[in-house]
Structure 1
């Protein structure tokens, strides 16, 4: 059993905001207890999967380790109980690809998969480049200082995915606010109340209100796209069929929500964290500036470095063995992606940012059947931004202390103040 202090740290949203605290906790676990059980107060016990190889082993066995049987993210006992009461026994407020197992996962993923494949995304490249240039021009007009997270990296991927989805530009601020409320529900700067959340009722009420507002918005969009289909992702979801039947209401709403949130937030976090790393490492910035061919490896290192999705949970469908440990049917497991991406057995100097790191077999996008659907779009957006920004950015340094959001599921920088010179 993992020591209680360590168990408390790896679930604490503030430990992820701190960065070092959670890194130290996972470093200890990788060395001393790479696959062990935690039972922090208020939670059911769960296995903590900290090693890169073990994460891959669990992720590749989709029939043995399910996403949807229990909560897919770390959820306290009392919150889980209330969600099940609300949702007729289901542990999920939404039912997106993340909460599905086969055959539903395969069928629902196939519905939009072609939209996110590289050959289709090539059609979007010119438009994405135009959007990137607009944000870079805006940055150039800011007089040499900005908050890169708030002024650029939050807004650029948001604009791209909203165009793909079919959400009008005037509604983008609302979509950003709702996304930050959902993923930042533990962060007083971002959540719906603007205050610390003290109990399960308050936490669930806030998240429920945010999800409800998303559903209200996308209900109206569904009606519109059924009456007036367009060439956008919303029309695919609104008019999509699974085995000749329209998508269930919860599944359709959840599809919109995951596209409208994960479709930009993870890319935003990685972009902000990648620039933060360059501002702290002038030698890495010069290396990239002198050799733009390193942009692809720099992006992969940014993804590894930030690892915006901190965990997913899996549930064993049968007795099994992982890392030499016997686990029982029904056991809950936490896949720790930041830990896998700092695994000393896989990455040399894992706590050093290297723009030219190669190979870089990070697990930030997951692995196997549940690998991130939008990974190619995210990589394309970041590549284009840096292809356009790097030639114009002459210098960059921090102009204050960056801050990460308080969250243990999806999180990254919420503020990256910088000063810079551009041409």
Structure 2
């Protein structure tokens, strides 16, 4: 990484540290840093103690350009999630030199990525999802009913937003409803490992991030659960997604146990957590912008726009890492083979060159070329399901909701990979 010594491209220490500090993703510091970087060092080098140096891509155009060149910028050569040197070393020791504790679609490149994606891709295409719309609408009505039953005040995250998409994806996957609380807890412990409230090691909040970043026990618990589910579906397959995964074949051979368990985990976590965050992010923004709330409530045709704007606004997947496979250039900067690059999606989604008034929430924003689902070969597999779920929920909720306002102090989770609202106290009136 000789290029990493190029001082003229080095990001100032405070901004570099914000990129790797989970707490910065829970307050204004993140967007302050992104705003400065877009204006002054849009593709610069972050050097922070305890983390390998990396380039930070903060402009919409650069993120697109890197994302579309899947042969030049790999997911799987190093960890596609920002990780400390300590955590990387522990994983490699445990995994026989591999940097990956799991092997999901986000850890794969061609040709494996296409083969494994094809196993479930049909399930998440719009034509198949149409058959689920009535079932999802029933689930959405139940979520609105539960909100109504709170009597006018609730924590929208923990009483509504978390449970609706969780129930949808678990129904599709084939996880019994009685096990949904367990799946939710494990998901929060996985994505919120560095959060002092959500992580399993919350009691160790005073310890360095690198000691809390990866909780091997959470992965073990996921594996144990899905191994039993997989065995059951191999013995008695049915029409759920777990049966598809359990009985999949790659190059004519049964899918390995490790890769099957990894597949279950990515579906069971990313399949609901990001949708929950975007839903809660939308409600938070609507509660703070009564004019936008009235606008979309008066005109239901704006609901798809509300969905896209909430995804842009929240951008639950904040970052992904890529590794250069050859010497190249980005924005005129020389990138060396093996360099690590952070794609800052939440920054690209506030890029002033692409979005008018990017720090304003607009339910009627057009066009809305957000990057929250990624781009290129790794475009989010579940994007159509996520947008359909949110559309249906708002179609059911907005007619019943007369007004809504913040009734306490909302909070975002402290995590630099996947984060979103973890608390959203509301006061509301029903129509």
Judge same fold: TM > 0.5, yes or no. yes
Q: Secondary structure in 1 aligned to 2:56?
A: strand
Q: Is the 8 A contact 2:201 2:212 kept in 1?
A: no
Q: Is the 8 A contact 1:178 1:214 kept in 2?
A: yes
Pairing partner for 2:399 from 391, 416, 421 = 391
Q: Is the 8 A contact 2:194 2:209 kept in 1?
A: no
Aligned partner of 1:4 in structure 2 is 13
Q: 1:318 to 1:264 in 2, by over 3 A?
A: same
Q: Is the 8 A contact 1:197 1:203 kept in 2?
A: no
Q: Secondary structure in 1 aligned to 2:408?
A: coil
TM-score by length of 2: 0.96
Aligned partner of 1:293 in structure 2 is 301
Q: Secondary structure in 1 aligned to 2:143?
A: helix
Aligned partner of 2:115 in structure 1 is 107
Structure 1 position 203, deviation (Å): 2.2
Residue 262 of structure 2 is aligned to residue 254 of structure 1: yes
* Distance in structure 1 (CA, Å) of the matches to 2:320 and 2:218: 21
Map residues 64-143 of structure 1 onto 2, 5 A cutoff.
Answer: 64-143=72-151
Q: Deviations over 1:50-74 (max 9, x none)?
A: 0000000000000000000011111
Pairing partner for 1:163 from 171, 176, 180 = 171
Residue 16 of structure 2 is aligned to residue 14 of structure 1: no
* Distance in structure 1 (CA, Å) of the matches to 2:210 and 2:321: 22
Q: Deviations over 1:101-127 (max 9, x none)?
A: 010000000000000000000010000
Q: Is the 8 A contact 2:84 2:210 kept in 1?
A: no
Structure 1 position 327, deviation (Å): 0.4
Pairing partner for 1:216 from 224, 227, 230 = 224
Count of equivalent residues: 421
Q: Is the 8 A contact 1:79 1:200 kept in 2?
A: no
Map residues 32-51 of structure 1 onto 2, 5 A cutoff.
Answer: 32-51=40-59
* Distance in structure 2 (CA, Å) of the matches to 1:391 and 1:220: 42
Aligned partner of 1:370 in structure 2 is 378
Aligned partner of 1:244 in structure 2 is 252
Alignment RMSD (CA, Å): 0.9
**Runs of 4+ with >2 A deviation:** 199-204
* Distance in structure 2 (CA, Å) of the matches to 1:201 and 1:298: 37
Q: Is the 8 A contact 1:145 1:418 kept in 2?
A: yes
* Distance in structure 2 (CA, Å) of the matches to 1:29 and 1:250: 39
Q: Secondary structure in 2 aligned to 1:391?
A: helix
* Distance in structure 1 (CA, Å) of the matches to 2:208 and 2:171: 37
* Distance in structure 1 (CA, Å) of the matches to 2:191 and 2:429: 33
* Distance in structure 1 (CA, Å) of the matches to 2:223 and 2:45: 37
Q: Is the 8 A contact 1:166 1:232 kept in 2?
A: yes
TM-score by length of 1: 0.98
Q: Is the 8 A contact 2:80 2:320 kept in 1?
A: yes
Aligned partner of 1:321 in structure 2 is 329
Aligned partner of 1:53 in structure 2 is 61
Q: Deviations over 1:337-372 (max 9, x none)?
A: 000000000000000000100000000000011000
Residue 178 of structure 2 is aligned to residue 173 of structure 1: no
Structure 1 position 193, deviation (Å): 2.2
Gaps of 5+ in 1: none
Q: 1:277 to 1:200 in 2, by over 3 A?
A: closer
* Distance in structure 1 (CA, Å) of the matches to 2:309 and 2:346: 13
Aligned partner of 1:336 in structure 2 is 344
